[in-house]
Chain A
Amino acid sequence: MATEVQGTEAVAHEDEGVRRRDFINIAAVSFAGVGGLAVLYPLITQMNPSADVLAQATTEVDLSAITEGQSIKAVFRSQPLFVRHLTAKEIAEADAVDPATLRDPQTLEQRVVDGKKQWLITMGVCTHLGCVPLGAGEGENKGEFGGYFCPCHGSHYDTAARIRKGPAPKNLVVPEYTFTSDTAILVG
């Protein structure tokens, strides 16, 4: 007898379509889901650079002491920065290349400030996996194209710090900078 009664009850509920309980279920689970997502956000974003890391200092570099053909390593955002005083020959070598043949096509002009073609300022971070290429220090290997050479996986950069050979996909990054005087730049 009892089962019969239950059976008819169930049918009756189904006939009413959506039950009150279905609505409560969906509402509660959705609410918990949204709450879960909201909690996920701080858990993930805490990994991003903190305010002190982001408070990126700018870097000033004095160019007066860098003679032609010389380059120095400075520090910008706790990463190395290459400042290079190109020789006429190095400029000519860079200009002689047809940009269309390059992996990351750019002319030397596009990578320096107008009228300051001899100053090549780039990050010292290989665009492959982030090693510091050689070639900015005295007597270091400048690679097959006379610019920079990354020893980690053998990327060769030319005298405009453009990628020419090896696994790196991009030219060395040119950061934002301005000439504050004829012999000084402000990076960042």
Chain B
Amino acid sequence: MSFPWAEHYTPKHPLMKWMDEKLPLPRFVYNAVGGGYEVPRNLNYFWNFGVLAGLALTVQLVTGIILAMHYAANGAVAFDSVEHIMRDVNSGWLLRYAHANGASFFFIVVYIHIFRGLFFGSYKAPREMVWLLGIVIFLLMMATAFMGYVLPWGQMSFWGAQVITGLFAAIPVVGEPIQTWLLGGFAPGNAALNRFFSLHYLLPFVIAGVIILHIWALHIPGSSNPTGVEVKGPQDTVPFHPYYTAKDGFGVGVFFLIFALAVFFAPNAMGHPDNYIPANPMSTPAHIVPEWYFWPFYAILRAFTMDLTIPFTGIVLVPAKLLGVLAMFASILLLFFLPWIDTSPVRSGTYRPLFKKFFILLIVDVLILGYCGGAPAEEPWVMISQLAAAYYFAHFLIILPIIASFERPDPLPGSITEAVLAKSKHKTGETVAIAAE
């Protein structure tokens, strides 16, 4: 938000003045991510991940557009064209590894970003729209990454396409025509590969568009902060530039350092070796798994092994397959309702002793789901997924509403500044003590 005390954009150079009259783009940027955007002074490093997500998208756009110059979306040559990128194209191996690992890093960053929001209550009023648009971005990312993974046309690509489009076949009556329509055939083939490439190229730009809406919606109330207490006056904020450009710049450096470690020293660690086997419609890999970032949802999908029947009659209400698909979609879609599910007026988890414990349990639960999703569909993994999936839904649908009404929150600081000063007083006290020793 442009708080009344925010710096005004005043172009000095005649060229910039001229520009400001014709197309005030520099003014727009200044007010969005420059000195004109006032931000709470107490943001911690978890607030870096939004900028990092934007950076990861940029990496995908740049490497992706270059890969598309060398890639051929045809079932007969797609696999070979990716090998051609790896072996023959100058620096092709680097671009492909950057793109493949970039997808993984994009998800790591976005998952941290989402859990940041979950802990600090960023989804609560007045930032519901920011959260809703975030979930839209997340869904688009998943669709993009899924279709991207099909492009190298290896075994996992092919069978991933078969299994994921098969999800739609679970819809009663119209399911199978929908699957055939999505694939343009009865099994994944050239038609599917081509349309996936077209959409894989398109969707990242749609994501970029939704990101602009996401930030627009954010800048209306302004950024939240770790205390969850709203900005009360000029002493609570600092301008985005140079304060947070510097802090984000540091985060960007750390991000690229870790990213480079993966790209140069473990480029296939997050991939699956079977995707280096060309697609074979006649043989399914012994153990098909999606990319790691889909594992928690895949575990929920597989957790449903029994039909929902009317007891003692054997009449099937909902077959197991449809249950699994519904549960998987519901696990994401329920996040759309989160701003209205969590009715606690206290935003930040820091001041919610009970919520804090359940939040940690939720993280553990999602990690367990993730582990089960990557494991073979055997016991004990199926049973563990069932329990973990049940807990996942219980967290959002039962635990959150209940603790919101029971919990006694810790006292909130009077303002952001008060919280910051209390902390630094504490710290200075310590330094004094050390100096005295």
Binding site for B on A (CB under 8 A): 44, 47-50, 53, 73, 75, 77-80, 100, 103, 125, 127-134, 150-154, 165-169
Contacts and interface: CB of A to CB of B under 8 A. Distances in A.
Contact of A169 (B189, B302, B321): B321
B288 interface: yes
Given A50-B184, A125-B187, A130-B166, 5 more contacts: A49-B191, A129-B162, A129-B163, A131-B163, A132-B282
Contacts of B159: 131, 152
B412 interface: no
Interface residues of B, number: 42
A135 to B, nearest CB: 12
25 contacts: A50-B184, A50-B191, A53-B189, A73-B282, A75-B282, A77-B187, A78-B186, A79-B186, A79-B187, A103-B316, A127-B321, A128-B166, A129-B162, A129-B166, A129-B167, A130-B162, A130-B165, A132-B282, A132-B284, A151-B376, A152-B159, A152-B284, A152-B288, A169-B170, A169-B321
Contacts of A132: 282-284
Contacts of B180: 48-49
B185 interface: yes
B21 to A, nearest CB: 37
Given A47-B182, A152-B377, A128 B287 contact: no
Contacts of B189: 53, 78
Nearest to B177: A48
B377 A130 contact: no
B286 interface: yes
B186 A166 contact: no
Nearest to B189: A78
A153 B377 contact: yes
B162 to A, nearest CB: 5
A47 B195 contact: yes
A47 B187 CA distance: 14
B20 interface: no
Interface of B: 159, 162-167, 169-170, 180-182, 184-187, 189, 191, 195, 281-284, 286-288, 301-302, 304-305, 307, 314, 316, 319-322, 324, 376-378, 382
Chain B CB within 10 A, most for which of A127, A129, A166, A169: A129
Given A129-B163, A131-B159, A49 B305 contact: no
Given A78-B186, A152-B288, A166-B305, A131 B162 contact: yes
Given A129-B166, A131-B163, A151-B284, A167 B302 contact: yes
Contacts of B282: 73, 75, 80, 132
A129 B301 CA distance: 11
What are the 10 A-B residue pairs with the smallest beta carbon separation, nearest first? A129-B166, A154-B377, A169-B319, A130-B166, A131-B284, A129-B163, A132-B284, A130-B162, A153-B377, A53-B185
